[in-house]
A and B are shown apart, each in its own frame.
Chain A
């Protein structure tokens, strides 16, 4: 076995983010009327410790071992996900959903966190097995199935946020495997149709663009027909699906479009979050001193809206530092993916990065109402044991991939 040199830029960035995150979880508990949140930073530290320990362990194993456990791990996570539909329970703002696995009323974790990791591995394994990147939509049935099964289960929980992450992973990894842009666009076209179906004019315009794309890309005839049919279907089916959405999901989407529509209910979260961030100004109100958080105006301040606490207390400066750390981390992982020894490792690295990128984009964007509220946690920041553990296990995988990668001379911070 080759001697592994620790990827310091990767580990140090992840460690800085985690410390920053734990500090914010601590601050989130500092409210004028103390709640149980005041103590959660301790268990967050414990989970961080376990995560670092796990990451070290994984970094001592080998990529081949990881590849070997991919299938069983994937199957296990699917089973656990399926179990949530039967014995799952909700938490926080989504108390009516079933994303938590609970035994005897004690919530032990969210299998979807594990699934994010195993789906990346499984997808990497499938895509790496191909000699050529998929050239047609028909070539994509296997990867689509790998993501589609857990995605469907998650949408049945329902957990819109995690569903979005899976879509991000799917498209990110297809892109990294060399699938051409137009094909990705065609693949994504039904989703675009779905979104645009609420405006007939917009949908019509999109349909014309789609036709032009098909003429340019010239897929198989049957693909083209399926694609058009799918677009029409989602465009027509969308309103019916809308009716099927849970009221709180409908509300969240509606509030995304117009947060002031319902200021006391769903819009309240976003408005309070924006007030917290905006009032932070350049330098913030000071660590633990944010009034929006202290006086409980900010909802879910230790989980979904932890970035608003950061914005309020550390100001634009703190936001810049946090986002820069994420950028450095993502660039580093992209580099690792580029230098990886084999296509599996490369795809795993990029897939993990894509997953976190979607998390950061949606979570941070949501605090400023740039994205709908979906309950996606912020990696390394949001309080949550399984997510912290999963994130650090992923760091361990990345450490391993980086260690096995080529061109050690390039091991420099980007």
Chain B
């Protein structure tokens, strides 16, 4: 080798430079990572070792108008697992199965939850019994990845009584997470699924907190609390409703087991919903923490459709209860007065063109004025009044009375009523083709034909009758009424209508049996043709009381109720209870 001192010195020098360059390069790489980028690495390190455990916030308590509890939160224990992989979860579930007595359904739900949100603790039992919890606590050491948490659990003390308007809660679904209103929600969180719970979700949900557990590379907890401070959940503010829970309970009890249908009671001055009930109901408490499969099946196969809200979802022909709308339109246009008689007296029907239109009263009503026609629900009178008004005016008037719109009640999933559009010809052409006759006018004038209304919407219309023309949107929560002047009539005409409606519940009226001693109830019965069973019409009663200074408007709908006076009796019981008349209708056996 070349070993001349000069060569050696040169190579020593060059090597030293080489070493120095290598040193500087390495050191600068470390400087970059440890000084310049240390923040992002520190974060990555925290994400590695700090496992976020969500702390669900208690949902807002729902009160009735007097401060009675409609929905509250009870402490419950949830059991969840943090699993690094699906296989690990399966293995853990297998281990836990005997202790927790997990069914296949539980295991499949847990696996589904894991798939949706693998980084969050997977809930195995959302509501474990105290026995299970104590057994688990004993074996804590064997299941290091198990998290036993005290979580708030939704509870409705009156269960089925309030289900119709309060709804229920459940885990947010994947479909919901894709919707804009569920932005910021995480899989596994509890959301309102119906009723007030859904409508006021943004108020009721509260703010989820987090606890940070330190875990090792295998996901085993090391210390209870990490360096990052816990964030306590923030409970939601209470929600005060207009509901009168006592009346609600009474309403539910009145329906009992036998009656099927729905009812709504409103304060006519501001639209406040005093009670809202659909029968048969369901127990929202059983929905909390996952609906048991058999219960879900039972609810969905019950022909009486407990999950179908008959107050805001069911749309039914309003029948004779709509005759008040026909009356109002006739009066508004000056076509009739309260004492106007029609040219053709009622002899049990009306020949119109080639068709004979029957009155419900086969014997006929004879010659009645408008008041009498309301009191006795004379179809022949209203056929003629309808013809006087004319189809397009009838439809346009109905639209001005909001019969083509939802009531606007603050509940989700309200159905839209069925009502013709302003372009009447086009509407019926679409419905029947070109071959429809003016007989539709007759149908419409007695609340049949292309007209189906929700119970809530009918009640809303009657708030206008009760307050001399101002209808109020039904409101479960809001204190500020949303009103609209829909009827313009003289005070005398309103008084006349009230008297005629009061006649309905008086001796000789169609719902005389609903009379209460000392109280004047103004209202109108109705029956709606039942497509399922022509012999068993649906029964309606919509009215208010006291007639002269109404404080309650009520609409009652009974499926297969046959005749309006059955509905009227239910209504009168509820009104009597609300206005302090002992809650018992004085049954007048003469009624009919």
Contacts and interface: CB of A to CB of B under 8 A. Distances in A.
Interface of A: 32-33, 127-128, 130, 132-133, 175-178, 272, 274-282, 291-292, 294-297, 311, 315-316, 319-320, 323-324, 326-327, 330-331, 334-335, 337-338, 343, 346-347, 350, 357, 361, 364-365, 368, 370
A295 B30 contact: no
B16 A331 contact: yes
Given A274-B41, A279-B45, A295-B49, A175 B11 contact: yes
Given A295-B49, A337-B12, A346-B8, A311 B34 contact: yes
B491 interface: no
The secondary-structure label for the interface of chain B is helix
A323 B38 contact: no
B31 A316 contact: yes
A160 B27 CA distance: 25
A338 B31 contact: no
Interface stretch (B170-178, B213-221, B575-583): B213-221
B48 A275 contact: yes
Kindly list the 3 A-B residue pairs having the minimum CB-CB distance in the complex, ordered from nearest: A278-B41, A178-B2, A279-B45
Given A133-B1, A320-B27, A334-B15, A278 B34 contact: yes
B35 A282 contact: yes
13 contacts: A275-B41, A277-B41, A278-B34, A278-B37, A278-B42, A279-B42, A297-B48, A311-B34, A330-B19, A335-B12, A343-B3, A350-B15, A365-B26
B157 interface: no
B217 A281 contact: no
Contact of B222 (A295, A327, A361): A295
A376 B226 CA distance: 35
A293 to B, nearest CB: 10
B38 A280 contact: yes
Contacts of B16: 331, 334
A316 B31 CA distance: 7
Contacts of A272: 48
B27 A323 contact: yes
Given A295-B48, A297-B49, A334-B19, A130 B1 contact: yes
Contacts of B216: 32-33, 294-297
Interface string B1-40: 1110001110110011001101100110111011101101
Given A297-B217, A357-B19, A278 B27 contact: no
B431 interface: no
A370 B29 CA distance: 9
A277 B19 CA distance: 23
A282 B48 contact: no
Contacts of B45: 275-276, 278-279, 291-292
A296 B30 CA distance: 22
B426 interface: no
A292 to B, nearest CB: 6
Contacts of B15: 175-176, 334, 350
A311 B29 CA distance: 12
A275 B34 contact: no
Given A178-B7, A280-B38, A370-B26, 18 more contacts: A128-B1, A177-B1, A274-B33, A275-B41, A277-B30, A279-B45, A281-B34, A282-B34, A291-B49, A294-B216, A296-B216, A296-B218, A316-B30, A319-B34, A323-B27, A327-B23, A350-B15, A364-B26
A193 B278 CA distance: 82
Of the candidates B38, B45, B220, the one having the most CB atoms from chain A within 10 angstroms of its own CB is B45
B33 A132 contact: no
Contacts of A320: 27, 30
B44 interface: yes
A191 to B, nearest CB: 19
Contact of A176 (B11, B23, B26, B34): B11
Of the candidates A33, A275, A323, the one having the most CB atoms from chain B within 10 angstroms of its own CB is A275
Contact of A368 (B20, B29, B40): B29
